[in-house]
Chains A and B, each alone.
Chain A
Amino acid sequence: MSTPVNERPHGGVGDRFRLWWNALARPVQWAVGVPFILLLAVLPVLNLPVITTEGTNFGAVMAQFGMYALLAIGLNVVVGQAGLLDLGYVGFYAVGAYTVALLTSPDSPWNQTGPDGWLSTRWAWLAVLPIAVAVTALSGLLLGSPTLRLRGDYLAIVTLGFGEIVRLLADNLGDITGGGRGLSQVAFPRLGTSETDQLGVFSAGNVSGTVNSGTWWYWLSILLIVVILVFVGNLERSRVGRAWVAIREDEDAAEIMGVPTFKFKLWAFTIGASIGGISGALYAGQVQFVTPTNFNVINSVLFLCAVVLGGQGNKLGVILGAFIIVYLPNFFLGRTELFGIAIDGNAISNYKYLFFGVALMILMIFRPQGLIPARQKLLTYGRQLYVAARRRPTEGLSDHVTEGAR
């Protein structure tokens, strides 16, 4: 997992880009980043014929991408940052989705919307979102505190068991969760109501045109992604992040150096879990329906694919991974030709697990660090020294000292 830091100091396009990006001042980074994010945000509206998905609604696909991106960011905290292999991440996704559904679906005995509940229909989803995050964080804490004393492979299998237990609970406690029938009519934000969209722009009924409910959910998830990226990024550069890297690289050494490893592992687990919970809440709101089959363990594996494919430890990488996982199968769906070549898009889309499997195997042989790998930074000394260290030797260190003094 550990990539040598200075093996190729300025080699490759990725490194050059990284160097350039890290040398920019923070306001400039924002000035470049915000238009780029806006460009990504308007993709469903532009609906370019090359990029769009023909067989299914592009907005809905992008909404799904948003949720997977959140999941990948959350799982990246656990797997990529702290090096804890979590194969039951779908469990947290399910807990988030079910918390929203249990509190707002009329099928649920704990429904709090409607005449005698304490949630207004209009704001129910937004009000339940923090509750969902809190409940998932708690579930992460509950699972983590007994199991995080286990290492590596044991942890993987125990978390796998947890993911399966959550699904089985949802399936078996039929009186509460509706069992296999699931819970329907889950709350969603009722904003932007109009004559045509009586339930607002987020309603699943809003399917016409390019700015449909999917697009709105995509925008909402972009907003959440940006907020969470800032949060996770700051965490990475803090004491917590350094502790995670230390644990990932060598847990025993970290423990000896005085890092309370258990505490920080629990932190990673809980934070990762709550991000998964947010994604689950988004999912429940968008589809307005939850059922246990959506939370199979195979989904956990898919999320892990997104993280590994993109490049574990790299936030942008895992978002790219999530995009590939969601977009590619949908891209081929319903396509009969690509660049003038006749293809059977539906078949390709059906075989997605086959292709993912082959892709994973090939990737692990030739590029195990993922498409956009993480480079280790000199975390201990902070950003400025990192920039100085990455400069060409001609510029010298004295340059940096004066800059630091400024």
Chain B
Amino acid sequence: MSTLLALGADYLSAPAINFNIEALGANFWQLTIEGLAYGAVYALVAVGYTLVYGVLRLINFAHSEIFMLGMFGQYAALMMLGFSPAGNAYSEGALLTIVYLILALVVGMLISGGAAVGLERIAYRPLRKRNAPSLVFLITAIGASFVLQEFVHFVLPKLTGDELGGVNAQQPIRLVEQKEQFTIFGASVTNVTLIIVISALVLALATDLFVNRTKFGRGIRAVAQDPTTATLMGVSRERVIMLTFLIGGMLAGAAALLYTLRVPNGIIYSGGFILGIKAFCAAVLGGIGNLRGALIGGLLLGVMENYGQILFGTAWRDVVAFVLLILVLMFRPTGILGETLGRARA
């Protein structure tokens, strides 16, 4: 047995997992900035989870597929504008590029937002009418997640003549060439990172203002706090629910465009799954049901993941994310900021 243990120690110290603290120190700022770019995407998707959870107490498991549909939506939009997934980036000039990006963003947001609202109407509303327990909602969400994935996997290629969807990943259309703009603490900041972080922050801020300052937002908070009383006070619960799905879906669509700008993995029917889980982790990290928590959780997860990736090796990226989630939940079960969509600004 002792030989077995010795063998085990030997193999655990083998370079399958390393502990490269020098690399972390040397690239600290670069990693932070790139982590923020990833985290911004997580944060936008996390807002969708958090809003729906705050209002319905439901993990919308299919939200990752809403995100995936957004990726295909912006891709289709760019294809219709005459772009194709070539190897090199297009050089259209700053102004035109921004116009095209905004067009793709709008289409992506519309597709995702529409899909989210459709999902709510087809899958969740009948269950609400029947007063189903929460496990039933979750199973339905899983079923819907299967359906959306397989739709893009098998049905979409047939509808579009193999232009979209299918088994293989589609290469993203590169509108923006990554170029260094300036450096902070020796870390280079590229235009793509800037676009991602700034647009994500603007969208998150806009959502926060919408929920905290407008009449519709007050309705959302009221339903999240106490659905029965809110209904008695004249808030239409159904409309609020639809609104939360719409906002969440649209943000996921926006995140999809930002994600495809940065990540070279390509667009594939199963591409939303892991990202969705991580975004949910981000929402839970920040305190699910809490909008600002989702933003903080997303950014934190993105940054920590990036540190972990350098510290332990690229393959350990996802492990770092999940271990971080378990650790935070063990010591602070309601997340960093606590779960309060309703009590954010009563």
Contact = CB atoms under 8 A, between A and B. Distances in A.
Interface of A: 1, 85, 109-110, 146-147, 149-150, 152-154, 156-158, 160-162, 164-165, 168-169, 171-176, 297-298, 301, 304-305, 308, 350-351, 353-354, 356-361, 364-365, 368
Contacts of A110: 4, 7-8
A interface secondary structure, majority: helix
Nearest to A116: B3
B11 A175 contact: yes
Interface string B144-161: 111101110011000000
Interface string B1-22: 0001001100100101100000
A360 B123 CA distance: 10
Interface in B55-83: 57, 59
A266 to B, nearest CB: 15
B322 A165 contact: yes
Given A154-B333, A156-B59, A164 B318 contact: yes
Contact of A359 (B16, B57, B143, B323): B143
B217 to A, nearest CB: 24
Contact of B16 (A150, A165, A172, A297): A172
B325 interface: yes
A161 B333 contact: no
A354 B151 contact: yes
A357 B147 contact: yes
B145 A357 contact: yes
Contacts of A364: 127, 132, 136, 139-140, 143
Contact of A152 (B127, B134, B315): B134
A361 B330 CA distance: 33
A329 to B, nearest CB: 13
Contacts of B17: 172-173
Interface stretch (B85-93, B193-201, B231-239, B276-284): B276-284
Contacts of A305: 139, 142
A161 B138 contact: no
Contacts of B134: 152-153
B322 A146 contact: no
B144 A147 contact: no
Interface string B310-345: 000101101101110110011001000000000000
A311 B223 CA distance: 33
Contacts of B155: 354
Given A156-B59, A350-B154, A304 B315 contact: no
Contact of B329 (A154, A168, A176, A368): A154
B130 interface: yes
Contacts of A301: 142, 146
B126 interface: yes
A305 B140 CA distance: 10
Given A109-B7, A152-B134, A365-B126, A165 B323 contact: yes
Contact of A161 (B136, B139, B151, B325): B325
Contacts of A308: 135, 139
A176 B11 contact: yes
Contacts of A356: 143, 146
Nearest to B14: A175
Contacts of A357: 142-147, 150
A169 B16 CA distance: 10
A149 B140 contact: no
B284 to A, nearest CB: 6
A359 B144 CA distance: 10
**Majority DSSP secondary structure for residues of B touching A:** helix
A98 to B, nearest CB: 14
B146 A353 contact: yes
Contacts of B123: 361
Given A173-B16, A175-B16, A368-B132, 5 more contacts: A110-B7, A175-B14, A354-B154, A354-B155, A365-B130
Given A85-B138, A161-B277, A154 B284 contact: yes
A298 B155 CA distance: 20
A238 B55 CA distance: 39
Nearest 6 CB-CB pairings of A with B: A357-B146, A360-B143, A161-B322, A354-B150, A357-B147, A361-B143
27 contacts: A85-B138, A109-B7, A153-B138, A157-B281, A160-B277, A161-B322, A161-B326, A162-B326, A164-B274, A165-B319, A172-B316, A173-B11, A174-B16, A175-B16, A297-B277, A301-B142, A305-B139, A305-B142, A308-B139, A353-B150, A357-B147, A357-B150, A360-B140, A360-B142, A364-B136, A364-B140, A368-B133
Contacts of B126: 365
B330 A146 contact: yes
B319 A162 contact: no
A295 B55 CA distance: 34
Nearest to A85: B135
A311 to B, nearest CB: 13
A172 B315 contact: yes
A1 B315 contact: no
A354 B147 contact: yes
Nearest to B136: A368
A158 B321 CA distance: 11
B263 to A, nearest CB: 19
Contacts of B57: 153
Interface centre among B4, B142, B150, B321 (most CB of A within 10 A): B142
The winner among A110, A160, A297, A365 for most chain B CB atoms within 10 A is A365
B139 A304 contact: yes
B142 to A, nearest CB: 6
Contacts of A161: 277, 281, 321-323, 325-326
A157 B142 contact: no
A350 B154 CA distance: 9
A157 B315 CA distance: 21
A171 B143 contact: no
Contact of B319 (A156, A168, A350): A168
Contacts of A297: 273, 277
Contact of A109 (B11, B143, B280, B281): B11
A150 B280 CA distance: 16
Contacts of A173: 11, 16-17
Nearest to A155: B329
Contacts of B150: 351, 353-354, 357
B65 to A, nearest CB: 10
A307 B212 CA distance: 42
Contact of B146 (A156, A162, A354): A354
A262 to B, nearest CB: 14
Nearest to B122: A361
A173 B323 CA distance: 16
Contacts of B133: 1, 368
